[in-house]
Structure 1
Amino acid sequence: MNRQLFSLVFVVILLLLDVYIFQLVKTLTISSSESTRKTIHFIYWGINALTLGGIVVYNFFPADQIPYTFRQFLLTWAFMLYISKIFGALFLIIDDVIRLFTWVYYKINPSITPEISDVVGTTAQNTEEIKEGANKIPRSEFLMKAGVVAMATPLVTLSWGIVSGAHDYTVRKKTIVLPNLPKAFDGIKMVQISDVHSGSFFNKKAVEGGIDLIMKQKPDVILFTGDLVNNMAKEMKDYQDIFSKLKAPMGVYSTLGNHDYGDYVQWESPAAKRKNLEDLKATHGRMGWKLLMNEHHFLETNNEKIALIGIENWGAKGNFARHGDLEKAYKGSEDAPVKILLSHDPSHWDAQVNGSKAKLYTDYYDKMNIQKRAFKDIDLTLAGHTHGMQFGIDTEVFKWSPVKYMYEQWADLYKHENQYLYVNRGFGYLGYPGRIGILPEITVLELKSA
């Protein structure tokens, strides 16, 4: 199914939801004056028409021909509006089930005259209509009001997540003991950020505040684990100078995530897509970041060294691209006493790094003619990708997000035997421009020897 046809089918489904929710609107305005009722109905259908029309325009025109601000507002508003309507629809369904059983009951027992109280929301004027058909059974005013509350709750919550959560940068500190860490690196402070998604930003000043907060941590080295943009290198145009402020004595190192390849937009030609990737690589360089493309780099101090290994995106879950070549990046770093891997997707850790689930990807290794083996001497892997789904519960004693049902490791620190994985919750946001419960993260990792 092509994009345009899918869009039309999707719009029809949303329109049916609008029609269904309209039953709730009609019930709650039935006692209003005719002019008030007509005004409310007009506003309801006007908002729906503009939203659905915007979705059609978005899908029938190339993304680069639609102003970014319009796209961002439309997608956010449509998401919030229809998520809220789904909650309201649940109460309509409950009401319809009750009405159906009421109608069936009096059809089976025609001799029984219902009391007014037998059907929630009935009045003396419409009690006799119950016997005439299900469509004559009045809707429950209580359930309709509950439906409005149910719709308002996610709408208010999601709005608050944009206003309050999108840029509420949280510094999370962890100390990791690596027995083989050279004494010269004992106490090294590494700051990790991930998933910037600059194409989603709407508050430049708030982003600057996040960068300032990173620098206040006085990092020895800064590590970025992919997804600098949503799709296009030009998304960094207004933010390149801000992120260029990230400096550290041992440098700033980065790698690519799945969004950095431009796989999720239509390009006029393969050459245009390749140029976009080259432009993005150049952006890393202009900001002073060392982009590790399936390669390693040694951090050195006092004649001792540890290895940073950076690979391109390699996803074991879903249909995410596998550009990473760990074998190539690892080669030459064997003698380093400590190895730290930058790999955007945390599912790579079980699939190839610690190898606990490597057998699930035998076909891939055979196809790529790659030796299926684990890299047991990679001490620490840093990843991002999941964002914690930007929604969940995140406390010291309990963590939950819907993303946990897809990713076993989705936020914070994990350990398998002697290997560690840290999954950063992301600096930015994608799709929904906010966060609820799972706040944007700046990770500070202090490495200690025994």
Structure 2
Amino acid sequence: MLFRLLFFVLFVGIIEVYAFQAFKTISRVKWVQYTYILLSVAILIYIIYSFTQFDRRVGQTQQSLFTLGLLLITVIPKIILTLFMFGEDFYRVISGLISHFFVSGENSSFLPQRRKFVSQVALGIAAVPFLSLLYGVTKGKYNFKVIKQILFFPDLPEGFDGTTITHISDIHSGSFDDAEKIKYAVDLINEQKSDVILFTGDIVNTHATEMQQWTEMFKGIYNPKFGKYSVLGNHDYGEYIDWPTQKAKDENFEAIKDLHQQIDFKLLLNEHVKIKSGSDEIAIVGVENWGHNFKKVGDLNKASDGLSVNDFKILMSHDPSHWEYEVKNNQKHFHLTLSGHTHGMQFGIEIPGIIKWSPVQYVYKQWAGLYENLGRYIYVNRGFGFHAYPGRVGIWPEITVIELKKGEKVV
């Protein structure tokens, strides 16, 4: 613990010194420099104080969300400044050594002065993540996008040709702070007028009570002809706080499961249902959470018991690693898997057809959007809500609409 504290102090000290060096080269006005120092110290004191107040019996709160957001907004740009300024110091030392040993003259200085343009470039580049992160916490976290996808299946039953699915995931209701924006998102869901609505878990951050003020709003999601179905995510099990008793944890878990009924979703707990269109039917299979690095209570065999390889199956499984390790090559042939969980890390760059990048891709092979293996698909929703960092940059909150079509995809 002491080592971590010393490392943190050293790390913060280095980046603060270098950031100030960059700032000082563009402003020689003393009161401006002193204001910068006082503001930096005040922010640092607030961040340290807020983290010392974090209670593992409570978990994430609006204060902890704000504090983490403030930390990222202030520290990441300063890290970029530090890299530039440290690089310039390396150049200055090398130049100084060359001057000292190879350049004669009494007036030659060992270390050349800092170059103002380097600081200006560093500040300009650091402004990009600063403004992006600031936008992420003020606007980006509610910048809902409807993403539409058409999938072709040769063995899709005729009665379901053209069927549409609205897929949402990772509500994380305990993080919300703007009822108007959430109402707007629910209206977006309703505007899609899909035939079935599927929700793939994480209705809360930890506590069932987080959803209380939002229940009526989410109950307002219309009831489509094939119904509304849901599964649990890793956060729904209350694993990330210290509970006073096992009984309290169990009661919270039961209350979370009841939330799905309160918003008129049929919660599937390692089970399946069949929806019918005329004489045709498809299976909606729902497993509890199964994550390669998270809680493993999902039971695919139990959930699909009684289904054959010939049944058309849509699987809801919160964590996309489940598809990678158990689903994609399963002999029962799950045609389409719907997941969430990753949030796309709430940070990345996506320009359709050009670039799709997020740090989370180094942890999850399937982290956002559509993936295919031997005619079996997984779609990873980027998430409805947000968690930990109270914002989104480049990876926007998503409402997915998938249309099922019978036949082969025309290339």
TM-score of the superposed pair, with normalisation by structure 2: 0.90
Structure 2 counterpart of 1:99, from 66, 81, 92? 92
1:12 CA displacement: 5.1
Partner of 1:332: helix, strand, or coil? Answer: coil
Pair 1:397 & 2:353 matched = yes
Q: Displacement of 1:36 after TM fit?
A: 4.5
The more displaced of 72-81 and 388-397 is 388-397
What TM-score results when the alignment is normalised by the length of structure 1? Answer: 0.83
For residue 195 of structure 1, the aligned residue among 170, 173, 182 is: 170
Q: How does 1:37-436 map to 2 (within 5 A)?
A: 37-58=33-54, 61-62=55-56, 64=58, 68-109=61-102, 111-113=104-106, 130-131=109-110, 134=111, 137-246=112-221, 247-316=223-292, 319-334=293-308, 337-355=311-329, 374-402=330-358, 403-436=360-393
Counterpart-to-counterpart distance in 2, 1:83 and 1:36: 22
Aligned equivalents of 2:116, 2:15: Cα separation in 1: 20
Matched, 1:18 2:16: yes
Query: Where does residue 404 of structure 2 map in the other structure?
Result: 447
- 3-state SS of paired residue (1:73): helix
Comparing 160-169 and 195-204, the one that deviates more: 160-169
User: Which range is displaced more, 377-386 or 148-157?
Assistant: 148-157
- Give yes or no for contact 2:381–2:398 (8 Å, CA) kept in 1: yes
The structural deviation recorded for 1:222 is 0.4
3-state SS, counterpart of residue 20 of structure 2: helix
Q: Which has the larger radius of gyration?
A: 1
- Count of aligned pairs: 405
Distance (whole Å) between structure 2 residues aligned to residue 293 and residue 12 of structure 1: 48
Q: Structure 1: state its 5+ residue gaps.
A: 115-127, 356-373
Q: Which is further off, 83-92 or 169-178?
A: 169-178
Distance in 1 (alpha carbons) for counterparts of 2:22 and 2:299: 55
3-state SS of 2:19 partner: helix
Q: 1:347 to 1:244 in 2, by over 3 A?
A: same
One-letter identity of the residue aligned with 2:297: H
Q: Distance in 2 between matches of 1:415 and 1:271?
A: 42
Q: Distance in 2 between matches of 1:175 and 1:45?
A: 52
Per-residue Cα deviation, 1:59-91 (whole angstroms, up to 9, x for no partner):
xx446398x332221111111111111111111
CA contact (8 A) 1:195 1:426 kept: yes
**Moved runs in structure 1, 4+ residues, more than 6 A?**
none
**Alignment CA distance shift 1:297-1:11 (3 Å):** farther
Shift of 1:182: 2.3
Q: CA 1:63–1:145 in 2, change beyond 3 Å: closer, same or farther? A: farther
Give the number of the structure with larger relative contact order, counting CA–CA contacts within 8 Å between residues 6 or more apart. 2
- 2:256 is paired with a residue whose SS is helix
Classify the secondary structure of the residue corresponding to 2:370: strand
1:226-278, CA deviations, whole angstroms, 9 ceiling, x for partnerless residues?
A: 11122222221221111111222221100111222222222223332222211
Q: Distance in 2 between matches of 1:380 and 1:263?
A: 28
* CA distance in structure 1 between the partners assigned to 2:7 and 2:242 by the alignment: 20
Amino acid at match of 1:64: V
Give, in whole Å, the separation in 2 of the partners of 1:429 and 1:399. 23
Superposed displacement of residue 110, structure 1: 6.6
CA RMSD of aligned residues (A): 2.4
Closer/same/farther in 2, CA of residues 8 and 336 from structure 1, 3 Å limit = farther
Q: Which runs of 5+ in 2 are unaligned?
A: none
**Aligned sequence identity (%):** 39
User: Does the Cα contact within 8 Å between 1:180 and 1:337 map onto a contact in 2?
Assistant: no
Q: Note the C-alpha offset of 1:295.
A: 0.8
Whether the aligned pair in 1 keeps the contact of 2:171 and 2:385 (CA below 8 Å) is yes
- Residues 35, 156 of structure 1: alpha-carbon distance in 2 compared, 3 angstrom cutoff: closer
Structure 2 distance, partners of 1:101, 1:6, is 33
